[in-house]
Structure 1
């Protein structure tokens, strides 16, 4: 499951969508929502290699968004994931205060936290091991997760 290329690409989609949302939230009222280079990439058509069949009931707007995301993920993975090595990602998560979630051990997940993940990729760009550190905004450890050889 985690060794597939889709997992790595899925991570890219999640990070891309989160970074776009964070950029809009922090851009302020005077600045553009995305820099021109990102806007150009969003407007680009999806290459045939990443375009998939349109889902039943999908609107033209949803189709355009799906294809734009697929294009950005393909560009991201082709640029960043060029063989074996470590991929390091840090994301800042903010959540709605009305939603309370807990970890498997019962500990409450902080409303705002930092997630730092290291992925080791093999020559086929598949994840062979990973470590994820969840910390509060103050830097206190919340959870550590590891993955190695599909476990």
Structure 2
């Protein structure tokens, strides 16, 4: 049930996860660049019969290192999630989804889902005073409300199709592509960029997979066989800041597929009246 509402309200993540199911380990060699502190993990270029034993051991070590970098990333984000959940207020987030591929589709009520949109999330974690509650609003870039979904008292409600179903409580927003085991990355690069204001950590994930054609989605001639995901995280707090996905085409070219940016992240004591009204609102019937 949770996945259903996440698909409706955060379509870009589900689209990319669908693609990710076809990913396989690739073989590329990349040199670490100079300047900032960089950790580069690669798999072997090729394996000959003579080198098989040595490369098998090396490949296992590189796989372990890839998992290690994913763990480092997830620990950073977990630190941020822990700090948020330790506070008694509401987490308020606005995330801009900028998609170059795919159309939004149509909601059951006939409303067109925009290709680019802003997801506004109000989230209260489980504490001594209240159980998990969430309101998720989708806005188009002109400021029009597209749809609303809520979670309270153990039920998800979506007001675009008047549905209500029991479900597990939502967790803090997270991109499942960075959970170890969900996607097979053949290289991960970590770059720590210090500055006077903030310290940013950039994780770059490289992956490859069999060619996938986008002809049946309205993008004729678009055939991808891999990509790069670049994620920016505040090193001090562990908060994700921006994620960019780049598709690699079979002809060697690259195209930005999507980008989502955390426009606002704050903790507030109370939600606005209109958000509270959505939280208390009931659908017309149960499904």
Greater fraction helix: 1
* Cα pair 2:102 2:115 within 8 Å, conserved: no
Name the residue aligned to 1:146.
Answer: 150
Name the residue aligned to 2:199.
Answer: none
Q: Deviations over 1:21-64 (max 9, x none)?
A: xxxxxxxxxxxxxxx8xx89x9xxxxxxxxxxxxxxx9345313
Structure 2 gap ranges (5+)? 3-12, 14-35, 40-61, 156-287
Alpha-carbon offset, residue 97 of structure 1: 3.4
Name the residue aligned to 1:78.
Answer: 82
Greater fraction strand: 2
What SS is found at the alignment partner of 1:108?
A: coil
Structure 2 Cα separation of the partners of residues 139 and 132 of structure 1: 15
Alpha-carbon offset, residue 124 of structure 1: 6.3
Higher relative contact order (CA 8 A, sep 6+): 2
* Cα pair 1:101 1:108 within 8 Å, conserved: yes
Name the residue aligned to 1:121.
Answer: 125
What SS is found at the alignment partner of 1:71?
A: helix
Change over 3 Å in CA distance of 1:124–1:70 after alignment to 2:
farther
Q: TM-score, normalised to structure 1's length?
A: 0.53
What SS is found at the alignment partner of 1:59?
A: helix
Aligned ranges 1:83-94 → 2 under 5 Å: 83-94=87-98
Structure 1 Cα separation of the partners of residues 99 and 129 of structure 2: 31
Q: Max radius of gyration: which structure?
A: 2
Aligned ranges 1:2-151 → 2 under 5 Å: 59-123=63-127, 128-151=132-155
Name the residue aligned to 2:241.
Answer: none
Change over 3 Å in CA distance of 1:117–1:60 after alignment to 2:
same
Aligned pair count? Answer: 101
Structure 1 vs Structure 2 CA RMSD: 3.5
Structure 2 Cα separation of the partners of residues 78 and 60 of structure 1: 26
Q: TM-score, normalised to structure 2's length?
A: 0.30
* Cα pair 1:119 1:130 within 8 Å, conserved: yes
